[in-house]
Structure 1
Amino acid sequence: MPAHRQEHRRRWASVLVAVVAAGLLAGGLNTAWGAEGNLAAGRAATGSAPCTAAETPRTAVTASVRDKFCSAAERPFLQVDLGAPALVGRIVVQHAQAGGEPAAWNTRDFTLSVSADGAAFTAVAAVTGSTAATTAHTVTPVRARYVRLDVTRPTGTGDRAARIAELEVYPAAAPTPSIVPPVSAAPCHGDAPPLLTDFLQGHGHPLTRAACNADVAVYHDAALAAVPAGQTAWATAFTTDVWRYMKDAYGSCAVPRPACERFGEPRPLLALFHRTAGAGAGGTIRYRFDAATGNRATIDVAAGSWADSAMLRDVITHEACHHAEFDGQGVLDSPAFTVWGDSKWAEFCVYDFYVNTGRQADAERVRADFGAGRDALPPGAGPSAWFRDWFLPLWRDGGGRPDVMRRFFELTAEHFPRREYGGGAYAAYTRRMTAGEYVHFTSAAAGQDLSGRAAAAFGTGFDRAQFERARRDFPALTY
């Protein structure tokens, strides 16, 4: 049995990040796209006269927001030839802010049109007054070879230049059932008793079950139990949505183990909520392989106010994301933890959850917040823009779904050194990854060599010799 690992705790700033005006992110609460690849990537593009020789139309179809198309023409436009007719179902526009420029330069008014022959175009979306960094437009499936963006108001200022970091086109797909079904009443599992004693952080105080369904059991301490139920009910519904998404997105186990699938379902997640003095909020987790928890996945969140807030939504989601990282595959610990810290991975996870459950304003808010972040990670790196230069491109490469990170965790469970316990009931990793190993495993998950992207994103935090050694040490991982 491995030694008990002390739970990690974070304290989040008490000042809420201002909500960025909501864009037109794809998807709704009850549908999710089975996205395939970006049809526009690398295709021929034309447009109005560029601002400079380096900002031509082709720079808007490179599958990267590091370059952009810029045009100060009287009627700026951008047009991409998909190369062959395709059934188009979604168009995504990455505006100025997505490429790291001021939000005031995001395209304000524009029209999207499609054509079979490049001559006769039919409008499929018209937008006015947008302030979003990214706008995603689900359209009635239409067969087209050409997609065109016409800008009528380039910015929210007097600046007349239109700036498009990327124009993405995705094929139509039948909507699939949402992976976050409506919350419904269900009997409590036997592992969610009406009363329990807080087993985290040595608190030892009593907790009362405030709500329960087939997915989560929510407990309140005495201070929170004194708050009117109507003020805290949102947290149960929200936590249920989060945990259902985690189970569907990251709950498949690559190595069969008892009670591994979907985080040990039907056992529910225990959510221990506390009301504290002060305006901040913080959280921690304990693992389902820890005897102290009764082998139950647990999150613990404390806050001064339990009114529905962006800060609390972020903390609850962040903590649930750690379960995908630390025990989702039936293997204890996170080999990549020293590489991405606490926690650049969670930024991918939180953003993806908000996008794919239709929480548009939250997605835009955290995208701006995470995109501005800089961290000296991996160890030895200078300030690195993890979300902007690493995780957001990975998410886009996967069609705006969590699949690349689910695959990363699966490959890690299959191939990274571990020790078995309990007759194979679960395992624990025996060491942490080097940055080179992390990039190698992520490349295999993404199906492409990401060493060049890692060198650009992490600078001195990426060691190519370390990466090449990882390729020799783990030859079964191919891409």
Structure 2
Amino acid sequence: MLACNGKKSPVETVSPAPPLVEAVDPPNAPSKTWKEHWFEHVQLLNRISYDTSVVVYYDGDVKPTVVWPKTYMAEAWNYTKRTYGKFGDDSRLFVIYHAGKYSGGHPGTYLDAGHDYRNVTDCGASSLDAWTTGIDNDIDLSTHEIGHIVEGASKGVKESPAFDIWHDSKWMEIYQYDVYLGLNRTADAQRWSAKMMTTTDTYPKAGTQWFKNWFLPIYENYGKAKVLNGFFTLLSQHFPKQSISVQGKTYQQYTRKMNFGEFIHFWSGAAKADLSTLALTAFGPKDEKGADWAPMLTKAKTDFPAITY
């Protein structure tokens, strides 16, 4: 055989490429994908990251440059557990984000099959550039959904007896404020407070300012996070419940909603102070349906005598 170069060149031995090795998850790792099956959600979610605090899932349209949920949601969730106690046996919060669809958010809890018995925040936005800043509404909506887990599943009890009173959700206004303060996010706490101080609602009467005239005075004067947790503790101890079975374990579920007098009574118990005058100033003398709440409060004191102040 003819060669262009008469000199013999050494033959190099090329090692074969190493085989592709896919990382194997440990036995207790959350699934790498999760198919949605709730409400109108039908996306196949991809696991982005996980640790002992949070598991983060994105749909296919969330930009991979969005990395803040891994840190912020873990901080907010861990602070929430320190303040209100554990939420089921799994220490993790499952965090879902969507871009270009499902605008808004909703929660899931360990007491509900809807999200496979997981504590979940599921947030979406109409923009394909959603969640890229990690500030303002990005964290506000995300934190809001954690607050729903607190009101609907704390102390091992399902449902929120006060939901028909504070709707969706005046409770979140003070919960989020406390989270921002608890995480030393002073600028966010100030930003949030300034916004809430000018917020008005139509319930129980037109012009009601829940944050300014009810929750903030209670928070600042009666123990901050301690009084917030105290309300849910008293509910779990005294408000009517029934036993339920969830994945073979026994939990409790509230059997009814509370009326406005009971609402004031339980918050007074948490504050260890009579809040009826504050309630009159904040809400007026009637509930959302136009009924006087003073007789309801009198009856609540009789029905729940262990709550004292």
Under a length normalisation based on structure 2, what TM-score does the superposition of the two structures give? Answer: 0.84
* 1:370 maps to 2:196: yes
| Structure 2: runs of 5+ lacking an equivalent | 1-24, 288-292
* 1:301 maps to 2:131: no
Alignment of 1:15-414 (within 5 A): 190=28, 192-224=30-62, 227-228=63-64, 231-251=65-85, 262-276=86-100, 282-303=104-125, 304=127, 305-307=130-132, 308-378=134-204, 381-399=205-223, 401-414=224-237
* 1:415 maps to 2:225: no
Question: What letter corresponds to residue 107 of structure 2 in structure 1?
Answer: I
Q: 1:271 to 1:200 in 2, by over 3 A?
A: farther
State the identity %: 35
Q: In 1, Cα distance between the equivalents of 2:286 and 2:40?
A: 37
User: What residue in structure 1 maps to residue 272 of structure 2?
Assistant: 447
Contact 1:189/1:214 (<8 A) preserved: no
Q: In 2, Cα distance between the equivalents of 1:218 and 1:367?
A: 28
1:144-202 superposed Cα distances (whole Å, 9 cap, x missing partner): xxxxxxxxxxxxxxxxxxxxxxxxxxxxxxxxxxxxxxxxxxx9883721111113324
Q: In 1, Cα distance between the equivalents of 2:276 and 2:113?
A: 40
Q: In 2, Cα distance between the equivalents of 1:360 and 1:404?
A: 21
Question: What letter corresponds to residue 233 of structure 1 in structure 2?
Answer: V
1:120-160 superposed Cα distances (whole Å, 9 cap, x missing partner): xxxxxxxxxxxxxxxxxxxxxxxxxxxxxxxxxxxxxxxxx
2:30 match: secondary structure: coil
Question: What letter corresponds to residue 161 of structure 2 in structure 1?
Answer: P
Contact 2:230/2:270 (<8 A) preserved: yes
The structure 1 segments of at least 4 consecutive aligned residues displaced by more than 4 Å after TM superposition are: none
User: Which structure has more helix as a fraction of its residues?
Assistant: 2
Question: What's the C-alpha RMSD, in Å, of the aligned pairs?
Answer: 1.9
- Shift in Å at residue 215 of structure 1? 0.8
2:268 match: secondary structure: helix
Contact 1:382/1:461 (<8 A) preserved: no
* 1:430 maps to 2:268: no
Contact 2:76/2:183 (<8 A) preserved: no
1:372 match: secondary structure: coil
1:284 match: secondary structure: strand
Under a length normalisation based on structure 1, what TM-score does the superposition of the two structures give? Answer: 0.55
> How many correspondences in the alignment?
274
User: What residue in structure 2 maps to residue 110 of structure 1?
Assistant: none
Give the structure with higher Rg (CA): 2
- Shift in Å at residue 363 of structure 1? 0.7
User: What residue in structure 2 maps to residue 26 of structure 1?
Assistant: none
Question: What letter corresponds to residue 305 of structure 2 in structure 1?
Answer: P
Q: 1:213 to 1:424 in 2, by over 3 A?
A: closer
Q: In 2, Cα distance between the equivalents of 1:448 and 1:191?
A: 47
Deviates more, 1:208-217 or 1:190-199: 190-199
| Structure 1: runs of 5+ lacking an equivalent | 1-186, 252-261
